[in-house]
Structure formats: structure tokens, C-alpha cells
Amino acid sequence: MVSKIVEPPVLISKVLTFVLAVSIVVLATLVFTLVKMAPLNRPEIFFLFTPSGHFTNMVIIPMVPDETNERMLDTYKKGFIREYIISRNTLYAGTNIGITRDNWAKTVEPWSSKQVWDDFVKTKLYKQYQFSNKSQSVSCSVNFSNTNNTPAVLDLRNDTYDVNFVWICKDENSGRQTQPKNYKIRIRIQSVLDKQVVKDLEKLRDNPLGIQVVEYSVQNDKGDPLDSI
């Protein structure tokens, strides 16, 4: 009786088929796992609680998710808007114009929607401070007209806010100060984390909720402050 002998090409073919089948199973498992992990593409807030008293060799730190606190969230949004307006409208003169440019590049641009940013870069003072190599003599500051320095809520459902502030500018060369101007800005914000994955970790550190200004309009027919000089 002649025993069956498996030819080398047939053996190699069977081995490759087995390896391919295993690879497909592993790949399918990996894809399934990544799909289940999809919610991790947005930040979740946790609080760490450590035991009081003396330090021990082993410390157990329970991690619990924070339940939504509407008051804290509203405070965060108002603080975000306040910092946005300050970064957008504060101008530094002399050798400090680099601070103005940094505020625009690191705060105003990433915190603005494309349309809001496109409107911003068309303003007179943006062009003057961004593209001129000359030292600028004009400095401007933002003072909020309401007592608690936070924006007033116009429409909480749509995250729309009315912000009143006083804008004062000064020519550092002549010492002449412009007449203070009162502005009312309407701002609407929204989170973009559900629409896009933020890949830059630094952006999440500065703006963990991924909020952007999607509407920025002057309500008292004065035009953008950065176009007024």
C-alpha cells in the first residue's frame, strides 16, 4: 500500500491558507474592539479622590465620572467667551505685539469656526498687526461693563450670549487716549467634538469641551472694534 505524500507546494498552500484565515479573524476582532472603543474619542471628566491622613505604601484611588452640573457648565462657557473676547480685542503696542499675534493664533483661531475666523482676518487692525513689521503704537484693552465680568445669557438652548464691554485704545507715542466705546457682541458657541476628532492633545488641554464660536456679530451698528481705528 502506497502512503499518500503531500507535495511541498500543496503543504505551503495549506499553511498559507491557515495563516490567512487566522489573520482575518484577528483583524475582525481588532476592528470590532476599536468600534466599541469609539466613545473614547471625546474627553470624559473624572475626579480623583485620595485618602486623607498618612501616606501608605499602597493607595487605592477610585475614579468616578462627574455627573453633569449645569451651573458649572454654564460658568465654564461664560469664562470661555470672556477669554475669547479679551484675546480677540486686546492689542499690545511696541515690542509686545508678538503677544497679540500669539493670542490670535493660539486662542482666537482654534476657538473660532472657519467663517468667524475668515471674517476676523479681514479686519483692519488684524492686517496691521499681523503683517506689518513696524512696531505698533496703538494699545487697546477690554473692560466688561457688567459687575461680574461674565456674559449675559440670551438664549441658553442655543448657547447664544450677549456680551457688553467697553473698548479703550491709546496711542503710546502721543499718549492720546480714544473715547471709550461701548459694544454689544452677540456670540453663539457650540461643541465640535461630536463632529470631528481633535487629534492635537494641546487643543484639548486648552479647550477640553471642544467649544468654538460659530457666530460673532456686533449688535449696535458700530462694526467690528478692530475696524474702528
What is the full per-residue pLDDT of the chain (229 aa) written as tens digits?
Answer: 555 555 567 667 777 888 888 889 888 888 888 777 665 555 555 555 555 554 455 555 555 555 556 778 888 888 899 999 999 999 998 888 889 999 999 899 989 999 999 999 999 989 888 887 677 888 999 998 665 666 777 776 788 999 899 999 988 888 788 888 999 999 999 887 755 555 555 566 677 778 899 999 998 777 899 988 7
pLDDT number for residue 58: 53
Number of domains in the chain: 1
Q: Give the pTM.
A: 0.67
Handedness of CA 144, 129, 214, 107 (dihedral sign): negative
Q: Is residue 199 part of a domain?
A: yes
Which CATH number is 80's domain given?
3.10.450.230
Burial (Cβ within 10 Å: 0-12, 13-18, ≥19) of residue 175 = exposed
Q: Is residue 96 part of a domain?
A: yes
By residue range, what is the domain housing residue 169? 68-227
Contacts of 229 (CB under 8 A, 6+ apart): 124, 125, 138, 169, 178
> What backbone phi and psi angles, to 5 degrees, belong to 190?
-160, 155
Q: Is residue 5 part of a domain?
A: no
Residue of 141, 143, 151 lying closest to 213 (CA atoms): 151
- Residue labelled with grid coordinates 473715547: 179
51 CA to centre of own chain: 34
Q: Is residue 30 part of a domain?
A: no
Q: Is residue 28 part of a domain?
A: no
Runs of H (alpha helix) within the chain: 8-36, 70-89, 97-103, 114-120, 124-131, 201-206
Q: Is 199 helix (H, G, I), strand (E, B) or coil?
A: coil
Q: Is 225 helix (H, G, I), strand (E, B) or coil?
A: helix
Handedness of CA 8, 10, 13, 15 (dihedral sign): negative
Task: Report the C-alpha gap between 88 and 111 in whole angstroms.
Answer: 10
- Return the DSSP state at 143: E
Which CA distances in Å does 12 have to 16, 22, 25?
6, 15, 20
Task: Report the C-alpha gap between 150 and 21 in whole angstroms.
Answer: 61
pLDDT number for residue 141: 92
Q: Is residue 14 part of a domain?
A: no
Task: Report the C-alpha gap between 203 and 206 in whole angstroms.
Answer: 5
Task: Report the C-alpha gap between 4 and 14 in whole angstroms.
Answer: 16
The DSSP bridge pattern shows strands 160-171 and 181-191 to be: antiparallel
Q: Is residue 221 part of a domain?
A: yes
Q: Is residue 128 part of a domain?
A: yes
pLDDT number for residue 85: 94
